[in-house]
Structure 1
């Protein structure tokens, strides 16, 4: 622009709520919390609850609460191995079609388990093929190993052990080729900050390796315990604030989703308070300001 400067405002980073964050309450409860607290949308966790598997029922919740589905989490957890059948190839494809129908931009999926040999052999190619035929991004999530110290001592002791030795110690990956999706050079990734804590990974370094492929953030926290914790961001050891600020200052065009564990909430009011605190953290540290350009 001649004779002056142009102000370019980057799109604010949307903050959604994982429906898993309200467990043991149901999918509709997640939509209700999201609407009441001011979330931008939800990430639909597809699992045993029948509503989460029913596109029509979820679409009705979108209309009822005026809350969009930002992302769909494929049913790839151990507890959802039989949801939408037993073929993980078909389940991932169905997840993408579900995202398209609901207007979601992203499908979150874990790396294949080692015992899913056929699926693992063709996983990278399937992700490429699905993305070539759809505007939906398939963002592969970082996971964590099964640590030997999960079998003795509590969370506090295992977190202290990880801190002292600088890593998870004796551990076994259940994922192929590993729990680090950058080992397979996918186009798009989900970064989960609770998983980096359990894996003893450097979250900032992993984000750097993901680079422009970092499309989706599961914003939570952890202290390094042997079991996945999904704490409220700011309540653990992960660089949640620093990472959020880096994303806000970058050209990050994806979205953040609060995925915390609220199972210990004694009342709905307490659960709502936890979800509100996590949202406030995200809003503060993901805030963007105008960027000067020419």
Structure 2
């Protein structure tokens, strides 16, 4: 589908799907379709805590090796969970050392808290991440900015991009309404400054990657899913001022 719609490449999300864990199978799919794997998302979701290894350090190392084998330039990584204390304590240095040794950009992603309702319109926010949902609180060489996560966190995505500065190398382009969940809406259908961010990146000569991370589960058919993805791609190309094919 990525080939048919004219995408430049894909980001591989490594998770419970057995094919996503098989680098050779992914390479065959890439060769067959002519669509390169441009980035690898490390298995760091709650549902993928035992994919490749129960050790988060080994999962990250395997993600870096997968990126090297597939010719991808970037590994996307979430901050450590709060209960991963030993991993969290050495996280920043480990990421820096792996980047230097591999030549792969490890772009740490902004996340969002969980909001628990207390009744009478009140709620409390709980972060599952250590030290926070904002990777700029620690400081890394490379970052992923996810606009859907920013929406769920009620963070100003443009200000977050400024804090990331020259380290902003990877974008997860999707929209959100500000609801306390990760929505990944088609860009332009929510409240996030998707167009403004893309245009700012284009004016600044951004040479990183923009990945459409759009939730298509509500599509009623493959054709509707393709329409959502095509609309997202057109939005990105128009606002990034990249050539629009067709």
Give the 3-state SS of the residue equivalent to 2:3 in structure 1. helix
1:245 is matched with which residue? Answer: 199
1:217-263 CA distance string (max 9 Å, x none): 00000000011100000000000000000000113210100001101
What is the deviation of 1:170? 2.1
Equivalent of residue 215 in structure 2, options 238, 241, 261: 261
Tell me whether 1:192 sits opposite 2:192 in the alignment. Answer: no
**Partners of 2:107 and 2:165 in 1: CA distance:** 13
**Partners of 2:219 and 2:189 in 1: CA distance:** 16
**Partners of 2:115 and 2:61 in 1: CA distance:** 31
Give the 3-state SS of the residue equivalent to 2:102 in structure 1. coil
Tell me whether 1:48 sits opposite 2:16 in the alignment. Answer: yes
Check whether the contact 1:46–1:75 (CA below 8 A) recurs between aligned residues. yes
Give the 3-state SS of the residue equivalent to 1:138 in structure 2. strand
Q: Provide the aligned length of Structure 1 versus Structure 2.
A: 243
**Partners of 1:48 and 1:170 in 2: CA distance:** 31
1:115 is matched with which residue? Answer: 83
**Partners of 1:85 and 1:265 in 2: CA distance:** 33
Equivalent of residue 273 in structure 1, options 219, 223, 227: 227
Tell me whether 1:176 sits opposite 2:130 in the alignment. Answer: yes
Give the alignment's Cα RMSD to 1 decimal: 1.6
1:3 is matched with which residue? Answer: none
What is the deviation of 1:279? 0.3
Structure number with greater CO (CA < 8 Å, separation at least 6) is 1
1:14-48 CA distance string (max 9 Å, x none): xxxxxxxxxxxxxxxxxxx1100000000000011
Larger Rg: 1
Check whether the contact 1:141–1:190 (CA below 8 A) recurs between aligned residues. yes
Give the 3-state SS of the residue equivalent to 2:43 in structure 1. coil
- Pairwise mapping of residues 53-68 of structure 1 onto structure 2 (< 5 A)? 53-68=21-36
1:79 is matched with which residue? Answer: 47
2:64 is matched with which residue? Answer: 96
TM-score, normalization by structure 1: 0.80
1:164 is matched with which residue? Answer: none
What is the deviation of 1:176? 0.5
What is the deviation of 1:148? 1.6
2:182 is matched with which residue? Answer: 228
**Partners of 1:146 and 1:55 in 2: CA distance:** 33
What is the deviation of 1:288? 5.3
**Partners of 2:123 and 2:108 in 1: CA distance:** 25
Where does structure 2 lack aligned partners over 5 or more consecutive residues? none
What is the deviation of 1:266? 1.1
Give the 3-state SS of the residue equivalent to 1:133 in structure 2. helix
Tell me whether 1:207 sits opposite 2:161 in the alignment. Answer: yes
1:134 is matched with which residue? Answer: 102
Tell me whether 1:283 sits opposite 2:225 in the alignment. Answer: no
**Partners of 1:282 and 1:265 in 2: CA distance:** 20
What is the deviation of 1:287? 1.1
1:11 is matched with which residue? Answer: none
